[in-house]
Chain A
Amino acid sequence: MFRRSLAVKLLFFIAVILILTIGIFAYININIQKKYLIGEMQQNAFLLSQTIERSIKHDMLTARSDYVQRTLENIGEQEGIEHIRIFDKKGKIIAADSMDEIGTLIDMQAEACTTCHSNKEPLKRLSTSDRARTFNLENGDRVLGIINPIYNEPQCYNSACHFHPEDQNVLGVMDILISLTRFDEQIGTSRKQILIYFFFTFLLISGGISLFIVIFVNTPIHKLIEGTRRIAEGDLDYRIGSYHSNEIGELGKSFDRMTAKLKESQEEIEKWNLKLKNEVKKATEKLKKTNVELNGANKKLQELDNVKSDFMRRMEHGSRSHLAVIQSCLSLVLKEYFSELNEQQKDLVGTAERRCSAMLDLLDDILILSYRKSTEAVYHMEPVHMRDLVQKVVEDIHAQAQKRNIKIDIQIPSDFPRVLADPEALKEVFSNLLTNAVKYIKEHGAVNVSAKLKKGLIEIDVQDTGIGIAPEDLPEIFSEFYRAPNAKSHKIEGTGLGLAIVKEIVEAHHGSLKVQSELRKGSTFTVILPKAK
């Protein structure tokens, strides 16, 4: 964690850059200083050698070598001057700051001489830096040596001693060795100072930057990090608080604003949540209450339903028991079992019997319809052979049809696919449709029952040549108690419930009904039912 910290990385980076730049700078600086100082030293040494040359010139011309010797000794005693020597052309020391060396011959191939004497023909002029050399003495002291050639002048070859011939160019060389001990000490001190300076600069700069980073970057960023952590934990009351006037400060301000907004939103949401909870609670309580009430009502309804069913049963039993006895009595009288009736008696008893039968039919239809419409209605679905079913229904109404000369033709093949239906309920459907078909044919007509398979459904047509239904009456014929005006005008009796029962049962089978009709031509009722698998 610590190693990955941005501040540490930044500090490390800055330190490396500082060490590199200051180090290079210090190195260059020390070298320049060294070079400059060496140059100065060389210049001084050269000036010194010129001065010595001038001061001994007269003595040399006058061949006062003892004077020369003394001057050299005096100068040689000066601090910092290691050695002063004058060589003649062949390398023999002719004068020096110490008497011992006079007369000795130095090796011309020695280092100090090679600058000029490495070539066959000696060089005549050298630059100041070429004449200088630094080397270590036997005692280890570092010295700067500078050679100064002494050139032939008219004063020299015209001198009374005639020592130097005129054609000689360089008469000899003065060699001065200057101690570099002090110089080296100074350079060392200077290097030390620069290193100290460098060190303190490094400390100051890195310290300053560290402080800056800690105050203006690290601390605020840590505060921000802490803030995000706290908010992530859900503490929306946390604020960064103090900001610097910079980008990070702005970030902190934005952060606080964001947190405040978040808190507002959260409070709003909590408020809504609470409201919602209360609403839900209220609604739930209401629902519970309603549920209890509903349960009560349901129970009551069930009780009422049972009472109703029981009532219906008893009513049915009671009514039909009375009507049955009346009907039977009347039919027995009408059959003239005991005595013959006159025409008027026959008409009256016949009317009574007819109305009694109508009353029984109405009662039946009301009860059937109310049962089919009730939740108690039960359908036992099974595959049903339509031909067999229609055959049975036709047998029931056969006598009625025969009496009125009506032919009923069943055109359903015996191997026709079966429908999925409750056979008892379906019998009721076709009983109604076929009774109607027969009933509404005035006389001498035909009823056709046919079936076809269409789109996986079975369509059964009951076609008659009856009085037909007016187009405006068609939409109403399935309504309870509706009877078409032409049915009434033809004095055909009916309860007005037959087709309502048919519709109720067909719809309970997820089937549908179609009617096509033309007045005075006949009607076709189509029952569409699902095919049995």
Chain B
Amino acid sequence: MKTSDPKAKILVVDDDPDFLKVVSIMLKSGPYTVVTAKNPQEGKEKLFSEKPDLILLDIMMDSLFDGYSFCNDIKTSEEYEEFKATPVIFCSAVKDITGSRFNFGSDEQGLVGPDDYIDKPVQSDDLFARIEKLLKK
């Protein structure tokens, strides 16, 4: 797989350490370097310190809204001005089609949503394809 040179840096924010572990292995098996964060607070710190190329963000962490508000902040807040263009992929165990996620639909809340969605469990092929698509932009 041809990618940007050097390897793209992916920031994964998720409160599930096991998921962080698995997804790190998965990404490292591909042409990526990985930075992880256990919550949005740590994610913010890592964002500023590591300046990733792409963010893989869990929707539901401590609060049901964590993912949404963090994404919205990155996309709109002046504080995150330099990361405005950084692609965000929502990665959630709550599927859209079950209606659960719909209740927090970004449009209805007036929040700016992510660039893409991916359901858990993630398949490496699928994940890599989506990441590449966004990085090429």
Task: Determine whether the beta carbon of B99 is less than 8 Å from that of A323.
Answer: no
Chain A residues near B98 (CB-CB < 8 A): 312, 316, 364, 367-368, 371
B135 at interface by CB-CB < 8 Å: no
Task: Determine whether the beta carbon of A325 is less than 8 Å from that of B60.
Answer: no
Chain A residues near B122 (CB-CB < 8 A): 324, 328
A320 at interface by CB-CB < 8 Å: yes
Q: Which of B23, B64, B94, B98 has the most CB of A within 10 A?
A: B98
When chains A and B are docked, how far (Å) is the Cα of A347 from the Cα of B13?
33
- Interface residue from A309, A331, A376, A424 paired with B123 (Cβ < 8 Å): A331
- Please give the distance in Å from B76's CB to the nearest CB on chain A: 25
Chain B residues near A325 (CB-CB < 8 A): 16, 18-19, 22, 121
Task: Determine whether the beta carbon of B60 is less than 8 Å from that of A424.
Answer: no
- Please give the distance in Å from B17's CB to the nearest CB on chain A: 10
- Interface residue from A313, A319, A321, A424 paired with B96 (Cβ < 8 Å): A424
**Contacts between chains A and B (CB distance < 8 A), count:** 83
When chains A and B are docked, how far (Å) is the Cα of A320 from the Cα of B19?
11
When chains A and B are docked, how far (Å) is the Cα of A371 from the Cα of B97?
9
Task: Determine whether the beta carbon of A337 is less than 8 Å from that of B29.
Answer: yes
Chain A residues near B85 (CB-CB < 8 A): none
User: Are A360 and B99 CB-contacts (below 8 A) given A324-B93, A325-B22?
Assistant: no
Interface residues on B, range: 20 to 34
- Interface residue from B29, B102, B120, B124 paired with A324 (Cβ < 8 Å): B120
- Interface residue from A323, A328, A428 paired with B26 (Cβ < 8 Å): A328
A519 at interface by CB-CB < 8 Å: no
Chain A residues near B23 (CB-CB < 8 A): 328
Interface residues of A in 27-42 (CB under 8 A from B): none
Task: Determine whether the beta carbon of B25 is less than 8 Å from that of A327.
Answer: no
B95 at interface by CB-CB < 8 Å: yes
Interface string of B108-136 (1 = CB under 8 A from A): 00000000000011111000000000000
- Please give the distance in Å from B61's CB to the nearest CB on chain A: 10
Interface string of B39-69 (1 = CB under 8 A from A): 0000000000000000000001000100000
A269 at interface by CB-CB < 8 Å: no
A99 at interface by CB-CB < 8 Å: no
When chains A and B are docked, how far (Å) is the Cα of A367 from the Cα of B97?
9
Task: Determine whether the beta carbon of A316 is less than 8 Å from that of B95.
Answer: yes
Task: Determine whether the beta carbon of A367 is less than 8 Å from that of B95.
Answer: yes
User: Are A312 and B19 CB-contacts (below 8 A) given A317-B60, A324-B93, A337-B29?
Assistant: no
Task: Determine whether the beta carbon of B99 is less than 8 Å from that of A377.
Answer: yes
| Complex: chain B residue closest to A376, CB-CB | B99
User: Are A368 and B120 CB-contacts (below 8 A) given A325-B16, A328-B23, A329-B22?
Assistant: no
Task: Determine whether the beta carbon of B100 is less than 8 Å from that of A371.
Answer: yes
User: Are A321 and B120 CB-contacts (below 8 A) given A313-B64, A332-B25?
Assistant: yes
When chains A and B are docked, how far (Å) is the Cα of A141 from the Cα of B102?
141
When chains A and B are docked, how far (Å) is the Cα of A119 from the Cα of B121?
166
| Complex: chain B residue closest to A431, CB-CB | B97
Chain A residues near B93 (CB-CB < 8 A): 316-321, 324
A378 at interface by CB-CB < 8 Å: yes
Chain B residues near A312 (CB-CB < 8 A): 98, 100
Task: Determine whether the beta carbon of B26 is less than 8 Å from that of A332.
Answer: yes
| Complex: chain B residue closest to A399, CB-CB | B125
| Complex: chain B residue closest to A364, CB-CB | B95
Chain B residues near A364 (CB-CB < 8 A): 95, 97-98
Chain B residues near A332 (CB-CB < 8 A): 22, 25-26, 29
16 pairs, A vs B, C-beta closer than 8 Å? A313-B100, A316-B95, A317-B92, A320-B95, A320-B120, A324-B93, A325-B16, A328-B19, A328-B22, A328-B23, A328-B122, A332-B26, A367-B98, A371-B98, A376-B99, A378-B102
Query: 6 extra interchain contacts, Cβ-Cβ under 8 A, other than A324-B122, A364-B95, A367-B98?
Result: A313-B60, A317-B60, A325-B18, A327-B121, A332-B26, A364-B97
> A interface vs B, CB < 8 Å?
309, 312-313, 316-321, 323-325, 327-329, 331-332, 335, 337, 360, 364, 367-368, 371-372, 374, 376-378, 424, 428
- Return the 10 tightest CB-CB contacts between A and B, nearest first: A324-B121, A371-B99, A324-B120, A320-B93, A367-B98, A327-B121, A328-B22, A313-B100, A321-B93, A325-B18
